[in-house]
Chain A
Amino acid sequence: MAKKSNKMVYVVAMLLFLGGLGYLVVSGLTQDSVYFLNVSEALATDKADLGQARLFGKVSPTNLDIAEGKLGASFDLVDKVNAGQHIRVVYKGALPDTFKESVEVIVEGVFDHDAGVFNARTLVTKCPSKYKEQSEEMERSKG
Chain B
Amino acid sequence: MHLTGYIGLLFGLLASLFLAAWAAIAAWTERYEGLVLVERGQLAAAGGVVLSSLILLVALTSRDYSFMYVADNVDNALTFVYTLTAFWGGREGSLLFWELLIALSGAVFVFSPGYKSLAPRTKLYFWTIFLTIQGFFLLLLTSWSNPFIEVVPPRTDGRGLNPLLRNPGMIFHPPLLFLGFAGYTIPAACALAAFIAGEKKSWIAVTRNWNVLSWMFLTAGILLGCWWSYMELGWGGYWAWDPVENASLIPWFAGTAVLHTCIIESRRGALQRSNVFLMSLTFLLCIFSTYLTRSGVIDSLHTFGESGVSFPLFMCMVVGLAVTLVVVFMSERHVTRALSEFLSRQGLLVAAAWFLLALGLVVAMGTMWPVISKLWSPRPLGLDAHFYNRVCLPFMAVLVFFFCLCPWLGWKGGIRNMKGFILSCAAFAISFGAFYATGMTRFWPAFGAASAVGAMTSIVLLFAFYPAMRSLRRNWGAYGIHLGVALVALGIAFSGPYKVEREFVLKKGEVASIEEYQVKYLDLVEDSTPELRARATATLEVSRDGSVLGYLAPDKRIYVNFERQQFAEVSTIFSLGDEIYATLLGLTEDDGASFKLSINPLVNWLWIGGTIMSLFPLLLLRRIARPGEKGDA
Interface residues of B in 113-142 (CB under 8 A from A): none
CB distance from A88 to the nearest CB of B (A): 20
Taking a contact as CB atoms under 8 Å apart, the answer to whether B302 and A3 are in contact is no
Taking a contact as CB atoms under 8 Å apart, the answer to whether A37 and B380 are in contact is yes
Residue in contact with B596 in the complex, picked from A13, A94, A127, CB distance below 8 Å: A94
Taking a contact as CB atoms under 8 Å apart, the answer to whether A45 and B379 are in contact is yes
Taking a contact as CB atoms under 8 Å apart, the answer to whether A124 and B301 are in contact is yes
- The chain B residue sitting closest to A125, CB to CB, is B301
Q: How far is the CA of A134 from the CA of B159 in the complex (A)?
A: 8
CB distance from B570 to the nearest CB of A (A): 11
Interface residues of B in 577-621 (CB under 8 A from A): 583, 585-589, 592-594, 596
B557-575 CB contact bits vs A (8 Å, 1 = yes)? 0000111111110000000
CB distance from B591 to the nearest CB of A (A): 12
Name the B residues within 8 Å of A54 (CB-CB): 382, 384
Stretch at the interface among B41-49, B387-395, B446-454: B387-395
Residue in contact with A137 in the complex, picked from B165, B234, B505, B564, CB distance below 8 Å: B564
Q: Is A126 an interface residue (CB 8 A)?
A: yes
Taking a contact as CB atoms under 8 Å apart, the answer to whether A68 and B588 are in contact is yes
Name the B residues within 8 Å of A41 (CB-CB): 379
Taking a contact as CB atoms under 8 Å apart, the answer to whether B505 and A69 are in contact is yes
Residue in contact with B341 in the complex, picked from A9, A94, A98, CB distance below 8 Å: A9
Interface residues of A in 1-24 (CB under 8 A from B): 3, 5-7, 9-10, 13-14, 17, 20-21, 24
Interface residues of B in 90-123 (CB under 8 A from A): 90-91
A108-143 CB contact bits vs B (8 Å, 1 = yes)? 100000000000000010111111111101111110
CB distance from B94 to the nearest CB of A (A): 9
A54-95 CB contact bits vs B (8 Å, 1 = yes)? 101000000000001111000000000000000000000111
Name the B residues within 8 Å of A134 (CB-CB): 159-162
Of B233, B235, B370, most A-chain CB atoms within 10 Å: B233
Q: A28-B390, A41-B379, A137-B564 are in contact. Are A69 and B587 (CB under 8 A)?
A: yes
Q: Is B164 an interface residue (CB 8 A)?
A: yes
Residue in contact with A35 in the complex, picked from B354, B380, B585, CB distance below 8 Å: B380
Residue in contact with A141 in the complex, picked from B91, B161, B300, B563, CB distance below 8 Å: B563
Taking a contact as CB atoms under 8 Å apart, the answer to whether B381 and A35 are in contact is yes
Q: Is B439 an interface residue (CB 8 A)?
A: no
CB distance from B340 to the nearest CB of A (A): 7
- The chain A residue sitting closest to B390, CB to CB, is A28
Q: Is A48 an interface residue (CB 8 A)?
A: no
Q: How far is the CA of A16 from the CA of B594 in the complex (A)?
A: 51
CB distance from B503 to the nearest CB of A (A): 5
Q: How large, as a class, is the contact surface on chain B?
A: 35 or more
Q: How far is the CA of A142 from the CA of B91 in the complex (A)?
A: 24
Q: Is B338 an interface residue (CB 8 A)?
A: yes
Residue in contact with B72 in the complex, picked from A96, A131, A137, CB distance below 8 Å: A131
CB distance from B385 to the nearest CB of A (A): 8
- The chain A residue sitting closest to B75, CB to CB, is A138
Q: A94-B585, A131-B73 are in contact. Are A28 and B391 (CB under 8 A)?
A: yes
Q: A126-B301, A134-B159 are in contact. Are A6 and B341 (CB under 8 A)?
A: yes
Residue in contact with B301 in the complex, picked from A7, A13, A68, A127, CB distance below 8 Å: A127
Name the A residues within 8 Å of B383 (CB-CB): 28-29, 32-34
CB distance from B372 to the nearest CB of A (A): 10
Q: How far is the CA of A10 from the CA of B240 in the complex (A)?
A: 35
Name the B residues within 8 Å of A94 (CB-CB): 503, 583, 585, 594, 596
Q: Is A106 an interface residue (CB 8 A)?
A: yes
Q: How large, as a class, is the contact surface on chain A?
A: 35 or more
Q: Is B538 an interface residue (CB 8 A)?
A: no
- The chain B residue sitting closest to A24, CB to CB, is B391
Q: Is B358 an interface residue (CB 8 A)?
A: yes
Name the B residues within 8 Å of A93 (CB-CB): 503
Taking a contact as CB atoms under 8 Å apart, the answer to whether A27 and B390 are in contact is yes
- The chain A residue sitting closest to B359, CB to CB, is A21
Q: Is B438 an interface residue (CB 8 A)?
A: no
CB distance from B596 to the nearest CB of A (A): 5
Residue in contact with B358 in the complex, picked from A17, A45, A98, CB distance below 8 Å: A17
- The chain B residue sitting closest to A50, CB to CB, is B379
Of A3, A27, A94, A95, most B-chain CB atoms within 10 Å: A94
Q: Is B224 an interface residue (CB 8 A)?
A: no
Q: How far is the CA of A34 from the CA of B561 in the complex (A)?
A: 39
Residue in contact with A13 in the complex, picked from B165, B342, B362, B585, CB distance below 8 Å: B342
Interface residues of A in 35-57 (CB under 8 A from B): 35-37, 41, 45, 54, 56
Q: Is B305 an interface residue (CB 8 A)?
A: yes
Residue in contact with B379 in the complex, picked from A10, A35, A140, CB distance below 8 Å: A35
Taking a contact as CB atoms under 8 Å apart, the answer to whether B304 and A95 are in contact is no
Q: A45-B379, A71-B503, A98-B164 are in contact. Are A141 and B561 (CB under 8 A)?
A: yes
- The chain B residue sitting closest to A128, CB to CB, is B162
Taking a contact as CB atoms under 8 Å apart, the answer to whether A33 and B382 are in contact is yes
Residue in contact with A25 in the complex, picked from B304, B362, B384, CB distance below 8 Å: B362
Question: What are some 20 contacts across the A-B interface (CB < 8 A)?
Answer: A9-B343, A9-B347, A13-B347, A17-B351, A31-B390, A32-B390, A33-B387, A34-B384, A36-B299, A69-B588, A71-B585, A94-B594, A96-B234, A96-B235, A127-B164, A127-B302, A129-B165, A130-B90, A134-B161, A137-B565
Query: Shortest 10 CB-CB distances between A and B: which pairs?
Result: A69-B594, A70-B586, A36-B382, A32-B387, A9-B342, A28-B387, A32-B386, A129-B302, A3-B338, A138-B159
Residues of A within 8 A of B (CB): 3, 5-7, 9-10, 13-14, 17, 20-21, 24-25, 27-29, 31-37, 41, 45, 54, 56, 68-71, 93-98, 100, 104, 106, 108, 124, 126-135, 137-142
